[in-house]
Structure 1
Amino acid sequence: MREYLLTLCVTAVVTYLLTGPVRKFAITIGAMPEIRARDVHREPTPRLGGIAMFGGLCAGLLVAAHLPNVGKVFELSNEPRALLSGAALIWLLGVLDDKWGVDALVKLGGQMIAAGVMVMQGLTILWIPVPGVGSVALTSMQGTLLTVALVVITINAVNFVDGLDGLASGMVCIAAAAFFMYAYRMWFGYGLEAAAPATLFAAILMGMCLGFLPHNMHPARIFMGDSGSMLIGLVLAAGAISITGQVDPDALKLFAGSERAAVHETVPVYIPLLLPLSVLMVPVVDLVLAIVRRTWKGQSPFVADRGHLHHRLLEIGHSHSRAVLIMYFWSALIAFGAVGYSVNGASVWIVLAIVALSAVGLVLLLMPRFTPRAPRWAESFIPPRYRRGGRPAVAAPDLPVVGVTAAATPSENGDGRDDRTRVPAGATAIGGRSRTW
């Protein structure tokens, strides 16, 4: 566990330290697209955050390769190299799209090529565990098609959900944490070495997201762009492919008593036979709804709109930050609920806890004007908007402005809505304060 934590911390620190210089580089080269109709931010914000995340990925793999225990993954498996090759291709495609823009069909082709490169190097689904039947072996063509489909679906699910500050990185971090818990249990609980690469991928993915998240929280100073969203989507898919199609239920039957019992023991993760669909359910549902919605309107599935789940949360009255937290909540509930059920599916308490937390989530959805406040002892560790005193006032400049009527200037308060500073009629702004004559 200590080596995985070290890898996670190194990845997070490198990503965090690189994000600042990457932001300046993005501004210098003009990677700041204009505000679009579907965007929720108000000022042009630099992209290319995926450059820092890719640097963190490389640093994490480099450190892990030199650790005594985790380093054995590189000796016994070619999956880390396959991941790095596919990640480099998808990252380069994302960088080109963030700077100059790439056609949707070209991006789809690039995603399939990146997935094909990983398949050629051994990162592929070999069999599918079917409850009640056992492991069903796949042909080379079937495994390739299924692997490419899983990679493309996961990449686009993460890309579609990247619409609010901190949303994609936080949700993927939650999914990666669930992956890590399950893969770590398979690796050290059952002694299955085939689960070691997935455990490493999950730890590195958590570090990439945690290192980038402080720069991306609302109001974001930099966006990850397609170079980041497609990258973390591919890493997430690689972990899912490794844990789903590489771990043999025949090895599990030594612990579960039979192959069918072993497959049954992993049912919560293998239904619907694709791991990301259980721990990344919220963005996948958003992806499916977006395709159905756009196709129903006679549009291309790749045409962007403002009908995503996070846009709907904003429309019903939730603030930017609260919409992100609600999406975090549902993602964590589904992801950790699936992992908890996989540990002890016969426990009634797990089901009751999931039902109770679902009720809490529904209450939060119905209270868009509720502003959560943290206890005073935790105020020094949280953003100002969640402190009891609210966001601290910004000191106004002392330069007097005489004879100019102050216009209403927009600013964003703790609720994410427009709050305008208005000066009464006949008043003049002096020293940043209003005075009525």
Structure 2
Amino acid sequence: MKQYIFTIIFTATITYALAWGVWRLSLKYRLYPGIRDRDVHKTPTPRLGGIAMFLGVTAAFLVSSQNPYFAIFWADPVSVWAILGATLLIVLVGVADDVWDLDWMIKLGAQFLAAGIIAWFGQLQIYSLPIGGLWVNSSWVSFTLTVFSIVIVMNAVNFIDGLDGLVAGVCLIANGVFFAYSYMLVRDTGASSYFNLASFIAAVLIGACIGFLPLNWSPAKLFMGDAGALMLGLLMATSAISITGILDPAIVGDNDEFGRSQLLGAFIPILLPIVVVLLPLLDFGLAVIRRMRAGKSPFSPDRKHLHHRMLDMGHTDRDAVLVFYSWTAIVSLSFLLMYIGTQYQWPGDYLIGVVFGVVGVAACLAVTFLPSRRSLPQPQSVSTPERPSNDLRAVV
């Protein structure tokens, strides 16, 4: 665990220092676009923070290559270099889009290419699904499923990038929960080492988000742009996919020692990586349906995302971001508690997670949809008639 903590601190420190440098250089050379119609901010703000995040992530990977504790996934360096190569590609395209506003077809093509690099050259594919010991027998089915999963998560994370600190905070919470899950899962399956690629990527993303958030918190000095959001989605999907290579579906689905509830023992390992990005996926799905029904491209920008709707309800920018944080934490922690309950035979097993989730979701619904005090009509003060003045100057 100490090595993971060091990775988080190292990545956060490098990312913060580089983000501050990118911010200063962007202001000096005016490397920021104008305000668009769908933007919430009113002041032109640099959008190149993704560069700093990528360099921080790259530095963490390179340092890990010299750490004997992480030699387990550097034993086959092709996978790691494929991840870094795909990440570099998506960051370059994201930076180009942040500067020149690329056509959505170019961006989508680059996303499929980056996902293909990870699946084909990195050999990180969904070979098995821990659902009753299901194996993906066809290599082309595995490749296609992997590529589409990565592209969907990338766009889901990118779609919610609309408020100060929103993506960085949501990904920080999601990767924090996923790190705890992957670490416990590897330990509980009896692996000889707790060090694995999935937990390492999650730790690196935690550090990158921590380091970037101080400059991205409302009012933001620096945005991560498409480069940062697409990078986070790419690496989050990659870490979730790599965890499927650690698990033996037969153990998860058929062995009572892995969890008292075979049903939850089978489904939680695949559900948790999904629910940690549930909110971005929901926003992504609604946006695609909305735009296609209007006869538009599914990637055409608009101002009807969930965070935009919350602003229209009367929530402030910061309130909306905190509500999104709460949703992410409640949903992901509920599934984590279900796993812990079944694994460690808590009283009530998964019911603790269910109760926590139901209460949390109810509270989040109330906070989300109840009108904010700022949106309610304010009572007008009743003015009292002025009393005649006894001051002679008032008469004169």
**Structure 1 unaligned blocks of 5 or more:** 372-414, 416-437
How far has the Cα of 1:237 moved from its partner?
A: 0.7
Q: 1:340 aligns with which of 337, 343, 347?
A: 337
Equivalenced residues, count? 367
Q: Secondary structure at the match of 1:344?
A: helix
Q: Which moved more, 1:239-248 or 1:52-61?
A: 239-248
How far has the Cα of 1:361 moved from its partner?
A: 1.3
Partner amino acid, structure 1, of 2:52: A
Matched with 1:123 is 124
Matched with 1:176 is 175
Q: Secondary structure at the match of 1:111?
A: helix
Matched with 2:387 is none
Question: Are residues 263 and 138 of structure 1, via their aligned partners in 2, closer, same or farther at CA, if it must alter by over 3 Å?
Answer: farther
- Whole-Å Cα distance in 1 between the matches of residues 287 and 200 of structure 2? 32
1:336-385 Cα shifts (integer Å, max 9, x gaps)? 111211222433222212211122212222445369xxxxxxxxxxxxxx
1:166 and 2:169 correspond? no
- Whole-Å Cα distance in 2 between the matches of residues 239 and 199 of structure 1? 7
Partner amino acid, structure 2, of 1:4: Y
Question: Are residues 258 and 319 of structure 1, via their aligned partners in 2, closer, same or farther at CA, if it must alter by over 3 Å?
Answer: closer
How far has the Cα of 1:255 moved from its partner?
A: 6.0
Contact 2:131 2:266 in 1 (8 A): no
More helix by share: 2
Matched with 2:239 is 239
Contact 2:155 2:284 in 1 (8 A): yes
Q: Secondary structure at the match of 2:134?
A: strand
1:353 and 2:356 correspond? yes
Contact 1:26 1:32 in 2 (8 A): yes
Q: Secondary structure at the match of 1:130?
A: coil
- Whole-Å Cα distance in 1 between the matches of residues 281 and 36 of structure 2? 24
**Structure 2 unaligned blocks of 5 or more:** 343-348, 376-396
Contact 1:19 1:49 in 2 (8 A): yes
Contact 2:11 2:204 in 1 (8 A): yes
- Whole-Å Cα distance in 2 between the matches of residues 347 and 276 of structure 1? 17
How far has the Cα of 1:27 moved from its partner?
A: 3.4
- Whole-Å Cα distance in 1 between the matches of residues 194 and 266 of structure 2? 15
Contact 2:47 2:223 in 1 (8 A): yes
Q: Which moved more, 1:79-88 or 1:98-107?
A: 79-88
- 1:4-403 equivalent positions in 2, closer than 5 A: 4-75=4-75, 78-119=78-119, 120-131=121-132, 134-192=133-191, 196-252=196-252, 256-257=256-257, 264-271=264-271, 276-345=273-342, 346-369=349-372
Contact 1:194 1:246 in 2 (8 A): no
1:36-63 Cα shifts (integer Å, max 9, x gaps)? 1111000110111011001110121122
- Whole-Å Cα distance in 2 between the matches of residues 227 and 199 of structure 1? 23
- Whole-Å Cα distance in 2 between the matches of residues 77 and 223 of structure 1? 32
1:154-174 Cα shifts (integer Å, max 9, x gaps)? 100011000000001111111
Contact 1:194 1:247 in 2 (8 A): no
Contact 1:253 1:259 in 2 (8 A): no
- Whole-Å Cα distance in 2 between the matches of residues 348 and 212 of structure 1? 36
Partner amino acid, structure 2, of 1:182: Y
RMSD over aligned Cα atoms: 2.4
Question: Are residues 157 and 222 of structure 1, via their aligned partners in 2, closer, same or farther at CA, if it must alter by over 3 Å?
Answer: same
How far has the Cα of 1:231 moved from its partner?
A: 0.7
TM norm structure 2: 0.87
How far has the Cα of 1:268 moved from its partner?
A: 2.3
Q: Which moved more, 1:230-239 or 1:79-88?
A: 79-88
Q: Secondary structure at the match of 1:170?
A: helix
How far has the Cα of 1:25 moved from its partner?
A: 2.7
1:271-316 Cα shifts (integer Å, max 9, x gaps)? 4xxx543111011000000011111111111111111000011000
- Whole-Å Cα distance in 1 between the matches of residues 97 and 273 of structure 2? 25
Question: Are residues 114 and 29 of structure 1, via their aligned partners in 2, closer, same or farther at CA, if it must alter by over 3 Å?
Answer: farther
Partner amino acid, structure 1, of 2:14: V
Question: Are residues 296 and 173 of structure 1, via their aligned partners in 2, closer, same or farther at CA, if it must alter by over 3 Å?
Answer: same
Percent identity over the alignment?
39
More strand by share: 1
Question: Are residues 101 and 50 of structure 1, via their aligned partners in 2, closer, same or farther at CA, if it must alter by over 3 Å?
Answer: same
Partner amino acid, structure 1, of 2:363: V
Contact 1:195 1:243 in 2 (8 A): no
- Whole-Å Cα distance in 1 between the matches of residues 73 and 365 of structure 2? 43
Question: Are residues 255 and 79 of structure 1, via their aligned partners in 2, closer, same or farther at CA, if it must alter by over 3 Å?
Answer: farther
Partner amino acid, structure 2, of 1:185: M
- Whole-Å Cα distance in 1 between the matches of residues 153 and 292 of structure 2? 20
TM norm structure 1: 0.79
1:17-46 Cα shifts (integer Å, max 9, x gaps)? 100111133334543111111110001101
1:238-280 Cα shifts (integer Å, max 9, x gaps)? 1011113552223557963589976741412324xxx543111
- Whole-Å Cα distance in 1 between the matches of residues 66 and 207 of structure 2? 18
- Whole-Å Cα distance in 2 between the matches of residues 162 and 94 of structure 1? 13
Partner amino acid, structure 1, of 2:296: Q
- Whole-Å Cα distance in 1 between the matches of residues 214 and 44 of structure 2? 19
Partner amino acid, structure 2, of 1:290: A
Contact 1:126 1:246 in 2 (8 A): no
Q: Which moved more, 1:285-294 or 1:56-65?
A: 56-65
Question: Are residues 58 and 277 of structure 1, via their aligned partners in 2, closer, same or farther at CA, if it must alter by over 3 Å?
Answer: same
